[in-house]
Amino acid sequence: MEVYLDNNATTMVDPEVFKAMEPFFCTIYGNPNSLHKFGAGTHPKMVEALNFLYDGINAADEDDIIITANATESNNTVLKGIWIDKILNGNKNHIITSEVEHPSITAVCRFLETQGVSVTYLPVNDEGVIDAHTVKEYIQEDTALVSIMWANNETGKIFPVKEIGAICKEAGVPFHTDATQAIGKIAVDVQACNVDYLSFSAHKFHGPKGIGGLYVSKGNALTPLLHGGEQMGGHRAGTVDVASMVGMGLAMKLAVENLEFENTEVKRLRDKLEDAILELPETIVIGGKANRTPNTTLISIRGVEGESMLWDMNQKTIGASTGSACASEDLEANPVMNAFGSDSELAHTGVRFSLSRFTTEEQIDYAIEVIKKAVLRLRAISSSYAYTPKNHVSQL
Ligand code: 7TS
């Protein structure tokens, strides 16, 4: 049996989405900017897709949704646009973000620091979230942007975006949120949360890879990252990938329709898997169980290297992750777990399981069986675990 439990890295394209995309490769293939019927023929489905995106995040008609290549591009567009418009060509010089953002935020912030921008990286509390009041404490006169993710990719922890949005609005500071891991898992409402910029990637909610979006609230347009043609009203040049845009639109519609299922059935299977692993001694859910996306669990299994677990599971055709795939090539301790102030053992023993609406009960039952055996095997050969007295109370 094959079991894919790495849906926070990417998801399967929903077959219905794939079907909707197919005509746009060999039949309706015109350039949407061409004036002839081949170009115009793409428009109805593009408009429909855009409407699904607006509805999916409750954007107002006057707001903008720019189609990008992915959340990485959306995040870069916001941070670099703010830098150009408010810092280089304005009187601001400060950005607030968190220590646990995806590298497509933190790496850009590090780059901006080399350019003289001052960046505050807020730590997470014991529960793995940012306290909204710390955002308020750190806002300065010259703060150009607050960028805090909606949900964390590793822990699934949901951040208090509504409170942060209200704080930013009151302080007159633009608020960006990376909602890549929130869409399709929990309700996302840009208006209710006073969001100015919001990033997402279609492949995280059963759409295709290589397409994403950037929501921009009315009047907050930024200098584009890509200059060129007049596509996207001049906000993002380059011929739009129509097939992918149509796929992303439908994927968003289906994601919203499946929210209820995600928060009942997918959550039930996640909890079943989690509870079974937690029956093993000295295992904990990093960041705790409260307030998480329904599909994610990040579990530390004392004495078991995350990478070894992945190896054992992979042998039995189960795919999970030790954290973000984007950072998994180096064996540095997971930065997100480090941000919890954990000891280094904890940071090396986390395994992330992320389910989707396509995960089945049989797959979870099989995964539980394999995981339990793998933990026993790996603990039996683990030097750090073997030498620990039996009733040792873990520091974890
Ligand atoms: N933002 C968040 C919160 C993410 O989780 C990811 C991908 C991205 C941005 C980047 O998305 P992309 O489509 O531009 O690549 N996160 C992960 C992950 O957790 N494991 O693999 C990729």
**Per-residue model confidence as pLDDT tens digits over 224-246:** 999 999 999 999 999 999 999 99
CA of 26 to the centre of ligand 1 (A): 30
Distance between CA atoms of residues 364 and 26, nearest Å: 39
Distance between CA atoms of residues 113 and 75, nearest Å: 16
Indicate which residue of 109, 168, 193, 326 is catalytic. 326
Q: Which residues line ligand 1 (CB under 6 A)?
A: 8-9, 70-72, 102, 104, 149, 153, 178, 180-181, 201, 203, 324-326
Residue 274's contacts (CB-CB under 8 Å, 6 or more residues apart) are 285, 289, 297, 299, 353
CA of 9 to the centre of ligand 1 (A): 6
pLDDT-derived band at 339, boundaries 50, 70, 90: low
Task: Specify the 3-state DSSP secondary structure of 94.
Answer: strand
Looking at per-residue confidence, does 211 or 343 come out higher? 211
Q: Which of 153, 176, 183 to mutate to test the pocket of ligand 1 (most atoms within 8 A of CB)?
A: 153
Nearest ligand 1 atom, CA 72? 14
Looking at per-residue confidence, does 155 or 388 come out higher? 155
307, two tokens:
């990478």
CA of 379 to the centre of ligand 1 (A): 31
pTM (predicted TM-score): 0.94
Distance between CA atoms of residues 159 and 165, nearest Å: 11
Annotation says 168 is catalytic: no
Nearest ligand 1 atom, CA 70? 14
Tens of pLDDT, residues 157-208 = 999 999 999 999 999 999 999 999 999 999 999 999 999 999 999 999 999 9
Distance between CA atoms of residues 132 and 152, nearest Å: 15
pLDDT-derived band at 394, boundaries 50, 70, 90: very low
| Protein residue closest via CA to atom 5 of ligand 1 | 153
Residue 386's contacts (CB-CB under 8 Å, 6 or more residues apart) are 303, 379, 380
| Protein residue closest via CA to atom 19 of ligand 1 | 324
Distance between CA atoms of residues 330 and 10, nearest Å: 20
Phi, psi of 15 (to 5 degrees): -55, -30
Q: Which of 59, 52, 60 is nearest to 16 (CA)?
A: 52
Q: Which amino acid is at 76?
A: N
> Alpha-carbon dihedral of residues 186, 190, 191, 192, nearest 10 degrees?
30
Query: Are 176 and 199 a contacting pair, CB within 8 Å?
Result: yes
Distance between CA atoms of residues 215 and 59, nearest Å: 8
